[in-house]
Amino acid sequence: MKIAYIGTYPPRECGIGTFTNNLIKAVGANTDHKRIQDHATVIAINDPGEEYDYPEEVKFVIRQEHQRDYVEAAKLINFSDTDLCILEHEFGIFGGESGVYILPLINQLEVPLLVTFHTVLKEPSYIQKSIVQQIGEKASGVIVMSHRAVRYLSEIFNVDSKKILLIEHGVPSFNMLPQEQVKKKFNFQDRKVLFTFGLLSRNKGIETVINALPPVVEKHPDLLYIVLGNTHPSVLKHDGEEYRNYLIRLVKHQKLENNVFFTKQFIDEETLFEYLTAADIYITPYLNEEQITSGTLAYAIGAGVAVVSTPYWHAQELLAENRGKLFDFKDSDQLSGILSDILDNPKLLRELRGNAFRYGKNLRWPVIGGQYLKVAKQALKDHVKPSADKFVIDPQVLPPFTLSHIKRITDDTGIIQHSKFDIPNLKEGYCLDDNARALIMALMTHRQNRDPLAYSLLPIYLSYIDYMQNVKGTFRNFLSFSRQFLDEEGSEDSFGRTIWALGYLVHHSPSDSYYEFGKTIFLKAAPNFEGLQYLKAVANTLIGICYYLRRHKGDEHMTPVMKRLASRLKEAYMSHSDDEWKWFEDHMSYDNGILPLALFHVADVGDDSEALEIAIRSTEFLESVTFRNGYQAPVGNRGWYYKGGECPSFDQQAIDVMALVLLYFQAYKTTKDKNYNEKMFISYMWFLGENELGLPVYDHETGGCCDGLAPTGVNRNQGAESTLAYIISHLTMLNALEYESRKDK
């Protein structure tokens, strides 16, 4: 078995890197392989601005904040002789918000994945919870190092409990020398040695120990407290040696210069175990309870040291059954008493050391490596390669339909434009675009399930549209929360989207009064149709006209308007397209799917073969740009995609995906080509996490949709535009299922 390991790696000074290296050697010790590179490939994570002289087994280096590196690493794993991948996960070592960049890598893996979670949080942020859930869903096995972590993954992150395995943190298997021999080597003879090691930072609580020592030293003047380790790199970068200098000043203040010694270095494990052997008591005075794993604590138990610790989560478990002593956070007085008791009682000291040593034998790396290898073999045996069959619409993956967030952001004036998270942002007021989309959404919902809430919302959205129409038939766009007009005339885009909504209402009106009202507003706006300048506005208006003509077939006035506007799109396509670039403009920006969607509607309503041909060609070109690695990745709005340029990946917007879902459904209905159905489903799944980051954009808890996908994660604000885009896409999926059902009958 050849395993790819993803994590930090020596010579980078990082606990995860040491763990990864030890795990590789431990797995190898349970096989016949003599060299690491014969059974392991390492994908190493570099911190920003650093370069390392990696050993031969490191085949690829990911620069932490370079997202493309993660995708390239996935390709390397997939196209090498790798059988399985093990991910060492810690939020801080991967790029993007909370390490979100790791998701594109794991989502593209074609081999089984095991993950070791070195941190499991009790109160994760939204993005942290999403990341863990996505990894848990992808992984064949999820490994943690404590019972509490098992419980949290299951209860808080909803990871399948059948996937979760408890394998404790491994420790090296060094030959243990007599303590006095090692003390003599370090010149610690005739001293009672206390020891703490690890990267220094404020949350380590070393000051608690220093403040506890004066009464202990008074009884045991031979006491020596050694603090070993460099300052944490991130602390050093932002604060320098401020914490270490503070501790040194505290030592002087407590008159402990002869009893406290700082060793500023990153030592190898053999030397570390010698220090642990020399120690009488090991102390972890950490300040934060929420530490699910501590490698330093595991090492101390593995070395058979008497341990005294604050009751953070891992310590509570590892020091149970009298394998150590616990004291309260920041309680120097309690620590003084415990240290004195142990140092005054040699029998108690021997008992603690003996209990730790016996338990530590089960933590030796060869034992832990054997457990990992067993899990890896089972994962490989159970792995089912993804089916080569095409996607079909699976109704089981669609979340339950809800208008809860729509209700939250709609008042008696209209739908509120923006939200802060899922709370309406009243300061931003209302806009015509969103109320037009909301009208379509309410009509679609009422048609789908006769939802009374949707029916009650219809007059709100329609009356907003009516209120914003000018005497000459154009529309204002923005309205403040206090109902003050904020413009004289809105954008052409908002005009076109409103005509689409009104045409849809004319075709799908729930009653005659809605039909007459919608038709009146539509026809009042009609004289402005052919004066539109922008192609997106023309396309949106065309879609509305096509819906109108489905109700008024052969309308002598509107049919020629449709044909003339359609000619505008056709001419734009013919003047800009060539053998490589088959598009309507010299760039692709927002809402791109609307342009071919309009021509599919024209082809359907007007029996226009030229419109159909251009719609098909431009859709194929759009696919070549936005379909990547089996998922939908709409053109990012950070610069747009210009002919001859590079397509930006972010930020990705929900309305772009909605346009694609609608495009593929209309293309299927017009051509009866089922390939469009597959692409519609893939596009819809962007909302549920089948996207470049592997994060869901739809919020199952609120019923809203996040405002976009950025390179660092999702924009948590859930405004009207994105939420309506999701709901319209969801309803389109339901329509597609019904359409197929009717066809089959």
Q: Give me the residue spans of the domains in the chain.
A: 3-170+368-382, 179-363, 395-744
Report the distance separating Cα 616 and Cα 179, nearest Å: 79
| DSSP code at position 482 | T
The confidence score (pLDDT) of residue 392 equals: 57
Decide the pairing of beta strands 587-588 and 627-628.
Answer: unpaired
Name the residue type at position 25. K
Query: Is the separation of the CB atoms in 551 and 521 below 8 Å?
Result: no
The partner residues of 61 in beta bridges, in order of sequence, read 44
Decide the pairing of beta strands 627-628 and 324-326.
Answer: unpaired
Report the distance separating Cα 714 and Cα 20, nearest Å: 30
Considering the segment(s) 179-363 as one domain, its CATH architecture is 3-Layer(aba) Sandwich (3.40)
- Give the residue among 655, 642, 659, 541 at the shortest CA–CA distance from 597: 659
Q: 736 burial class (0-12, 13-18, 19+ CB within 10 angstroms)?
A: buried
| 395-744 is a CATH 1.50.10.10 domain | yes
Token couple for 347? 């029998």
How much is the pTM?
A: 0.73
Token couple for 451? 């939802």
| DSSP code at position 373 | H
| CATH code that applies to domain 3-170+368-382 | 3.40.50.2000
Q: Is the dihedral of CA 223, 228, 234, 235 positive or negative?
A: positive
The confidence score (pLDDT) of residue 295 equals: 87
Domains 179-363 and 395-744 share a fold: no
Report the distance separating Cα 150 and Cα 163, nearest Å: 10
Query: Is the separation of the CB atoms in 153 and 117 below 8 Å?
Result: yes
What is the mean pLDDT of each successive set of 10 residues along the chain, which is 745 residues long? 95 91 94 87 93 95 90 92 96 90 89 95 90 93 95 95 95 82 90 92 93 96 93 81 93 96 83 90 93 89 94 94 95 97 95 93 92 95 66 72 96 95 93 97 93 94 97 96 94 97 96 95 97 96 97 91 96 95 94 96 93 97 89 89 90 95 96 90 92 88 92 90 97 87 59
Cα separation values, 508 from 341, 435, 481, 501, Å? 83, 17, 30, 10
Q: Which residues are within 8 A (CB) of 523 and not within 5 positions of it... i.e. 6 or more apart?
A: none
Cα separation values, 222 from 182, 189, 208, 225, Å? 17, 10, 20, 10
Q: Is the dihedral of CA 462, 700, 728, 511 positive or negative?
A: negative
Report the distance separating Cα 417 and Cα 415, nearest Å: 6
| DSSP code at position 527 | G
What 3-state DSSP class applies to 86?
strand
Token couple for 549? 């003509």
